[in-house]
Chain A
Amino acid sequence: MPIEIPKDKWNGKVRTINLGATAAEGGTRAKVITVGGETSMPYLHFEAPTPNTPLIAVEIKSRKPTDWSPLLAEAWGEAMNNPAAWAKAAEAAGAEMLILWLTLEDTPADAVSAVKAVLAASGLPLAVFGPGQAEKDNDLMVAVAEAAKGERLLLGICEDKNYRTIVATAMANGHLVNARTPMDVNLAKQLNILITDMGLPADRIIMDPTVGALGYGIEYGYSVMERLRLAALQGDSMTQFPMLVTVGFEAWKAKESKVGEGVPASWGKWEARAINWEITTATALIESGASIVVLRHPESVKRVKAAISELMTA
Chain B
Amino acid sequence: MYIIGENIHIISEKVKEALTNRDREFFMDLAVRQVEAGAKAVDINLGPRKKDWAEVFPWVVEAVEAVVDVPLSIDTTNVDGMEAALKTIKKNQPILNSTSAEPERLEKIPALAKKYGAKIIALTMGTSGIPVEADARVEIAVGTLIPHLMEIDFPMENLIIDPLVLTTSGCQQYCPQLIETVRMLKYAWDPAPMVSVGLSNVSNAVPNDNRPLINRVYLAMLMGVGLEMMIANPFDEKQNNVIKWIETRDTSTPLARVYNKIAERTEAGEQPAPEDFDMTDPEQVDIWKTTQILLNNVIYADAYLAN
Contact = CB atoms under 8 A, between A and B. Distances in A.
Contacts of A227: 299
Interface string A165-176: 000000000000
A122 B126 CA distance: 59
A43 to B, nearest CB: 23
B166 to A, nearest CB: 13
A53 interface: no
A186 B307 contact: no
B170 A186 contact: yes
Contacts of A40: none
Contacts of B170: 184, 186
Interface stretch (A16-24, A61-69, A130-138, A229-237): A229-237
A261 B307 CA distance: 52
Interface residues of A, number: 17
Contacts of A236: 298-299, 307
Contacts of B169: 186
A227 B307 CA distance: 18
B297 A190 contact: no
Contacts of B307: 189, 193, 236-238
A215 B79 CA distance: 42
A270 B194 CA distance: 62
A194 interface: yes
B298 A190 contact: no
Interface in A179-211: 184-187, 189-190, 193-194, 197
A227 B298 CA distance: 11
Contacts of A185: 299
A193 B306 contact: yes
A186 B206 CA distance: 11
Interface string B159-196: 00000000001101000000000000000000000000
Contact of B298 (A194, A228, A231): A231
A44 to B, nearest CB: 21
B150 interface: no
Contacts of B218: none
A281 interface: no
Contacts of B304: 189, 193
A236 B297 CA distance: 9
A184 B242 CA distance: 33
* Binding site secondary structure of chain A: helix
Nearest to B300: A186
B7 to A, nearest CB: 28
Interface string B288-307: 00000000011111111011
A67 B300 CA distance: 38
B306 A239 contact: no
Nearest to B297: A234
A126 to B, nearest CB: 30
A112 to B, nearest CB: 34
A189 B299 contact: yes
A189 B304 CA distance: 9
A197 B299 contact: no
Given A186-B169, A186-B170, A197 B306 contact: yes
A11 to B, nearest CB: 12
A239 B303 contact: no
**Which among A184, A186, A194, A234 has the greatest number of chain B C-beta atoms within 10 A?**
A186
A197 B300 contact: no
Contacts of B302: 186, 190
Given A186-B300, A197-B306, A238-B307, 11 more contacts: A184-B170, A186-B170, A186-B301, A189-B299, A190-B303, A193-B304, A231-B298, A234-B297, A236-B307, A238-B301, A239-B299
Interface of B: 169-170, 172, 297-304, 306-307
15 contacts: A186-B170, A186-B172, A186-B299, A186-B302, A187-B301, A190-B302, A193-B304, A193-B306, A197-B306, A231-B298, A231-B299, A236-B299, A236-B307, A237-B307, A238-B307
5 cross-chain pairs, A with B, having the tightest CB-CB distances, nearest first: A190-B301, A189-B301, A193-B303, A231-B299, A189-B299
